């Protein structure tokens, strides 16, 4: 299995996205607390780790933790808004530390839309520079994009721009907006799209990339909205391969181990030929409409075969046939998603993720004050902070 874990390095950011699902908290990490989490992923025999946040490049010890994870044998990746990677020397420093792959988050190539979504002017030019600087530093570059109401109609315009102006980018990832956490939960009407809003532009984007020989993944989009490219669904691939994901959240959720990838289905999904390998509708925030789902009737075996036979996948195993997979799939136990509270982790001997300190509380209070001013200027709501933290 090519299981990949996530470590939230920080939970503050130098941008202010109105749909941020992982906003600032009073928790902080030091180098030692992050090393323990790296060791946890190594003990789980994970393939790689993703450094994320907040904005991970804001942590002073990021190069050291990248180097440590690399030394422990993990494939080290990072998700970033690219602001600091616009500095060539910083990009080279992370490359020398062992960063193998960077996902630069860009939502729109239209500057006014990107600035509106980011809450900060001038981000697009720096993100473009990050793409080039990372590649020059020997780091593989991917582009991440959150599908939302403001970019839903031009996902294809975005990729055409990238393939023309940044041809070194060979892989793209889309995540449909998670409406269940943080600012995303309190600004649903402004940012959450309908599935139909992006169906056509997503299909055009995927077809363009496929024809150009590039790869891509799509998360939180039901297969009935990407049937031709169902093999590129993150959930579908994990369901087929039986993969899990661990996220070390730098908040009260702490460590979450996810082995289940199914969410919400409509009545008609029961007859769909892809039901057993589809993640359904991710709607924990109650913002999407299951009535938009519909059954499709295509060859499931062809999709399974495409996933199992993908030589570009770190878990590639060309020896397993679709028939063998079906037998193995039927024998799997019921998966689950298990979040662990700090108390439960302590009782079980697991290390807590980060800690709350006086310094962390001061930084959180200062950040919340700044964010309140930004929210008022942008006309977005601010998420509720942890119980008692705002006081």
pLDDT level of residue 383 (50, 70, 90 thresholds):
confident
pLDDT the model gives residue 337:
45
pLDDT tens-digit readout, 218-230: 999 999 999 999 9
In a domain, 126, yes or no: yes
Position 157 pLDDT exceeds 90? yes
At 286 the pLDDT is 85
Residue pointed to by tokens 């959240």: 249
Name the E strands within 177-270. 215-219, 245-248, 255-258
The CA distances from residue 82 to 15, 331, 373, in Å, are 11, 43, 24
Predicted pLDDT at 2: 82
Does any domain span residue 90?
Answer: yes
The Cα 119–Cα 247 span in angstroms is 26
pLDDT at 319: 81
The confidence score (pLDDT) of residue 1 equals 63
* pLDDT at 316 (0 to 100): 72
Q: 65 in a domain, yes or no?
A: yes
pLDDT reported for residue 342: 47
| Residue ranges making up the domain that contains 336 | 4-378
Q: What are the E-state strand segments in 148-296? A: 171-176, 215-219, 245-248, 255-258
Q: How confident is the model at residue 390 (pLDDT cuts 50, 70, 90)?
A: very low
The per-residue pLDDT for 386 is 60
Please report the pLDDT score of residue 51 as a whole number: 98
The answer to whether the bond into 54 is cis (omega within 30° of 0) is yes
- In-domain check, residue 391: no
Helix (H, G, I), strand (E, B) or coil at 212: coil
Residue 383 falls within a domain, yes or no?
A: no
Q: How confident is the model at residue 78 (pLDDT cuts 50, 70, 90)?
A: very high
**pLDDT per residue over 111-127, tens digit each?**
999 999 999 999 999 99
> Does the pLDDT at position 318 exceed 60?
yes
Q: Provide the pLDDT for residue 341.
A: 45
Of 230, 222, 251, nearest to 353 by C-alpha is 251
pLDDT for the residue 230: 97
Q: Is the pLDDT of residue 368 over 80?
A: yes
pLDDT for 314:
80
Looking up residue 207, the CATH number of its domain turns out to be: 3.20.20.70
Six token digits for residue 211: 């024809």
Question: What pLDDT band is residue 320 in, cutting at 50, 70 and 90?
Answer: confident
Rounded to two decimals, what is the model's pTM? 0.92
| Number of separate domains in the chain | 1
Burial of 103 (0-12, 13-18, 19+ CB in 10 A): buried
Give percent above pLDDT 70 in the chain: 93
Residue 335: what pLDDT?
Answer: 54
Any domain includes 135: yes
* φ, ψ for residue 33, nearest 5 deg: -65, -30
Q: What is the mean pLDDT of the segment spanning 157-175?
A: 97
């Amino acid at each position: 299995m090519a299981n990949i874990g996530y470590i939230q390095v920080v939970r503050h950011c130098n941008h202010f996205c109105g749909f941020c699902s992982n906003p600032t908290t009073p928790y902080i990490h030091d180098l030692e607390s992050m090393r323990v989490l790296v060791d946890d992923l190594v003990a789980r025999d994970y393939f790689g780790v993703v450094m994320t946040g907040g904005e991970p490049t804001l942590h002073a010890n990021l190069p050291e933790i990248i180097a440590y994870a690399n030394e422990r044998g993990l494939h080290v990746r990072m998700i970033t808004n690219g602001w600091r990677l616009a500095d060539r020397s910083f990009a080279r420093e992370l490359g020398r530390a062992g960063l193998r792959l960077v996902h630069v988050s860009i939502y729109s190539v239209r500057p006014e839309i990107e600035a509106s979504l980011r809450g900060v002017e001038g981000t697009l030019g720096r993100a473009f520079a990050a793409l080039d600087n990372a590649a020059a530093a020997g780091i593989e570059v991917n582009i991440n994009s959150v599908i939302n109401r403001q970019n839903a109609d031009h996902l294809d315009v975005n990729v055409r721009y990238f393939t023309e102006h940044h041809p070194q980018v060979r892989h793209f990832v889309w995540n449909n907006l998670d409406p269940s956490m943080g600012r995303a939960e309190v600004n649903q009407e402004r940012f959450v799209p309908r599935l139909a809003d992006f169906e056509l532009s997503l299909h055009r984007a995927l077809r363009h990339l496929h024809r150009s020989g590039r790869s891509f993944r799509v998360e939180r989009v039901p297969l009935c909205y990407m049937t031709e490219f169902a093999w590129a669904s993150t959930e579908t691939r994990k369901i087929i391969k039986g993969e899990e994901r661990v996220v070390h959240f730098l908040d009260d959720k702490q460590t979450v181990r996810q082995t289940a990838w199914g969410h919400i289905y409509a009545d008609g999904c029961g007859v769909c030929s892809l039901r057993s390998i589809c993640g359904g509708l991710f709607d924990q925030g109650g913002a999407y409409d299951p009535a938009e789902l519909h059954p499709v009737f295509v060859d499931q075996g062809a999709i399974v075969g495409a996933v199992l036979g993908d030589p570009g996948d770190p878990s590639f195993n060309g020896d397993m046939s679709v028939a063998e997979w079906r037998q193995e799939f039927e024998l799997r136990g019921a998966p689950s998603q298990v979040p662990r509270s700090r108390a439960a982790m302590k009782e079980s001997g697991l290390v807590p993720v980060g800690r709350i300190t006086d310094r962390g509380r001061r930084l959180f209070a200062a950040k919340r004050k700044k964010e309140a001013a930004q929210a008022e200027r942008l006309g977005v709501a601010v998420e509720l902070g942890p119980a008692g933290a705002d006081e």
